[in-house]
Amino acid sequence: MTPHPPPPAGRSTAARPAAAMPRRGWMAGAAAAGLGALCPSPPVLAAPRPLPSVRDVPRRWRIGYAESMPYGNYAATLAAILGELERMGWTGALTGMPYRPGQTDTAALWSWLAAHAGSPVLDFVADAHTTNLTAEGAAALTERLRDGRGIDLMIVMGTVAGVALATDAHRVPVLAFSCTNPIAAGIVASETDTGRDHVWAHLDPRRFQRQLAIFHKTFRFRRLGIAYDDSPTGRAIASLPDIEAMAERIGFELVRRHVRAPIDHLDQYRYEVDLTAAWEALSREAEAVYITYGRWPLDRFSSLVRPILRRRIPTFSQLGPEEVERGALMSIARADMAGIGHFGAATLARVMAGEPLRHLPQVYFDTPSIAWNAATAAAIGYRIPFPALLAADSLHGVL
């Protein structure tokens, strides 16, 4: 799809935000949103040593998988790692693997792997897939790991699952991906030392600082609204330390609302009602809203975000293009998953070849680009500058 800038939007007679920003300020800030200035290319980090081959692995490894919930980024990351393992010769041909970009389900994918992966060293254990990890499920899985019942390594997706399995209650290696802030969450200790011999996490330590720098340079807001679960895990999932650090560094005020995360699926309705009320309040008090990670299904996002859009408030999704597609104004997009796939597969290979997990590289990030929703921009009365459209990797809301 070739992006085209939306026509200038006229002012609506709908309700306006309590603290509206002048259009001139929006345009001046957005002109700085070109990726050359805001998203400089990261340095290329050389591998510490050549990658091991399958011949360097002395035994078969039984692999398990756990995720916080079904989520597109988890499935995409898993598929990218598997694709790289195939390319490296660590699995057989994965032709027919049931994955399509955007899918959230990993259960069918895992079942297919258990039957068809054809690896000389990897066994994807059919009954070792867990999604929607609860406290009870985590306890049962930890007990299985502690007792050595058929799992030699866990691939873990998401902060909730990472926190649950990054424990000394077992000694099975855990590789955690797609966690918001693994250091703040206590999954690992630092960028250079995981803190445990059997736990590792992918880190992009300045990801959310980059997001907020882009958002602020685009809109120059003075009051930024955020809603999050005010618990240790909730603050870590939202990466609150990064948000607070950027607020102090750049000089904007945080307008906060607390929304308790759902206990289970029966508590989901209460959670969404509370979230809607929080976002409604933020849309009255803030000049922009940073939508932190939450526990809503993606298919509910368009309805949930409506109160903010009605007041013509700019929104930035911490999650990414999935929410931009459904109504958030903008986010950072990853052009493809190949880089994280290689990084994850290389880490898996090194662990299986006997390299100490604790000091393997954890930091990886690639060059980001911006995702925009043109329909949302028009609805809030904002015209995306043409240079920003040219720099965008994904553009949604265009007929």
Same domain membership, residue 127 and residue 67: yes
Query: Is 80 exceeded by the pLDDT of residue 270?
Result: yes
CATH code, domain with 221: 3.40.50.2300
How many Cβ atoms sit within 10 Å of the Cβ of residue 290?
26
Cα 376 → chain centroid: 22
Q: What is the pLDDT of residue 48?
A: 56
Distance between CA atoms of 127 and 62, rounded to whole angstroms?
11
Clarify whether residues 227 and 168 are in a common domain: no
Contact between 235 and 228 (Cβ < 8 Å): yes
Residue 262 in domain: yes
What digits encode the pLDDT tens for the residues 118-148?
999 999 999 999 999 988 999 999 999 999 8
AA identity, residue 377: A
CB burial of 27-52 (b: ≥16 within 10 Å; e: otherwise) equals eebbebbbbeebbeeeeeeeeeeeeb
337-352 pLDDT tens trace: 889 999 999 999 999 9
Same-domain status, 124 and 263? no
pLDDT per position as a tens digit, 150-194: 999 999 999 999 999 999 999 999 999 999 889 988 999 999 999
Chain position carrying tokens 């649950």:
164
Q: Would residue 79 count as lying in a domain?
A: yes
Which contacts of 111-116 are long-range, i.e. CB under 8 A and separated by 24 or more positions? Answer: 113/82, 116/92
Could you give phi then psi for residue 235, rounded to 5 degrees?
-65, -35
pLDDT in tens, 345-397: 999 999 999 999 998 999 998 777 889 999 999 999 999 998 888 878 788 88
Q: Note whether 176 and 199 are within 8 A (CB).
A: yes
pLDDT digits (tens, 9 = 90+) for 41-88: 444 444 457 899 999 999 999 999 999 989 888 999 999 999 999 999
Whether residue 28 is predicted with pLDDT greater than 60 in this model: the reply is: no
Q: pTM higher than 0.95 for the full model?
A: no
* Pair 228, 376 in one domain: yes
Indicate if 59 and 190 belong to the same structural domain. Answer: yes
Asked if residue 16 is part of any domain, the answer here is: no
Q: Is the same domain home to 120 and 267?
A: no
CA distance 121 to 303: 46
Q: What share of the chain is helix, strand, coil (3-state, %, to 5)?
A: 40, 15, 45
Q: Is residue 123 a part of any domain in this protein? A: yes
Per-residue pLDDT at 90 exceeds 60: yes
* 60 inside domain: yes
Helix or strand holding residue 394 (H, E):
strand 394-396
What pLDDT is recorded for position 1? Answer: 39
How far is it, in rounded angstroms, from Cα 211 to Cα 292?
11
**Are residues 81 and 27 part of one domain?**
no
Q: Which domain holds residue 374?
A: 23-39+206-334+368-396
Q: How far apart are CA 18 and CA 221, in angstroms?
A: 13
Query: Is the domain of 350 the same as that of 299?
Result: no
Per DSSP, the residues of 101-147 read: TT----HHHHHHHHHH---SSEEEEEEEEE-S--HHHHHHHHHHHHT
Q: Assess whether 212 and 112 both reside in one domain.
A: no
Is the same domain home to 236 and 317?
yes
Q: Residue 399 CB: number of other CB atoms within 10 A?
A: 5
Residue 295 pLDDT grade (very low, low, confident, very high; cuts 50, 70, 90): confident
In-domain check, residue 12: no
Q: What DSSP line would sit under 233-299, residue for residue?
A: HHHHHTTHHHHHHHIIIII-EEEEEE-PPPSSGGGHHHHHHHHHHHHHHHHHH-SEEEE---S--HH
Residues 346 and 284 in one domain: no
Is-contact 339 202, C-beta < 8 A?
Answer: no
Do the beta carbons of residue 150 and residue 125 sit within 8 Å?
yes
331 DSSP 8-state letter = E
Are the C-beta atoms of residues 362 and 203 closer than 8 Å to each other?
yes
- In this structure, the answer to whether residues 239 and 386 fall within a common structural domain is yes
User: Which among 373, 385, 273, 320 has a CA at the least distance from the CA of 23?
Assistant: 385
Point out which residues pair with 371 in neighbouring strands.
331, 394
The answer to whether residue 297 sits within a structural domain is: yes
Q: Mean pLDDT score of the chain, rounded to an integer?
A: 86
**What's the number of domains the chain is made of?**
2
Handedness of CA 35, 38, 41, 47 (dihedral sign): negative
Complete DSSP assignment for 296-321: --HHHHHHHTHHHHHTT--EEESS-H
Distance, in Å, from the CA atom of 38 to the CA atom of 358, rounded to the nearest integer, reads 33
Whether 5 maps to a domain, the answer reads no
Residue 398: what pLDDT?
Answer: 67
